[in-house]
């Protein structure tokens, strides 16, 4: 830790070794209860499974459109 003195107050400036990015805290998945590190509510395995379901549902809904109508993705 390096302390810089200015005219009115001192400023604490982190040394390069102190500013390494920290890993996110360990959490429990709300879907299966597995312990994982990350910023999401569900673990990567559940997220992969959920993505397959989302894609399947999206393909299913695209098939119900009348001919000539194209769904525009944002």
CA dist 24 and 28 (Å) reads 12
pLDDT of residue 21: 78
Is 35 within the bounds of a domain? yes
Give the range of the structural domain holding residue 59, as residue numbers without chain letter.
23-64
Is 10 within the bounds of a domain? no
Is 29 within the bounds of a domain? yes
Question: Cβ(74)–Cβ(59) under 8 Å?
Answer: no
φ/ψ of residue 18, rounded to 5: -80, -20
Is 9 within the bounds of a domain? no
Residue with tokens 């001192």: 10
Number of domains the chain contains: 1
pLDDT surpassing 80 at residue 54? yes
pLDDT, one tens digit per residue, over 5-51 is 666 665 666 555 666 778 888 999 999 999 999 889 999 999 999 99
pLDDT surpassing 60 at residue 1? no
């Amino acid at each position: 830790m390096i302390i810089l003195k200015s005219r009115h107050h001192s400023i604490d400036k982190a040394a390069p070794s102190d500013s390494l990015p920290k890993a996110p805290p360990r959490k429990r998945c709300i879907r299966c209860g597995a312990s994982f590190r990350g910023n999401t509510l569900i673990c990567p395995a559940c997220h992969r499974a959920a993505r397959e379901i989302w894609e399947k549902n999206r393909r299913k809904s695209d098939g119900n459109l009348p001919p000539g109508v194209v769904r525009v993705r944002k």
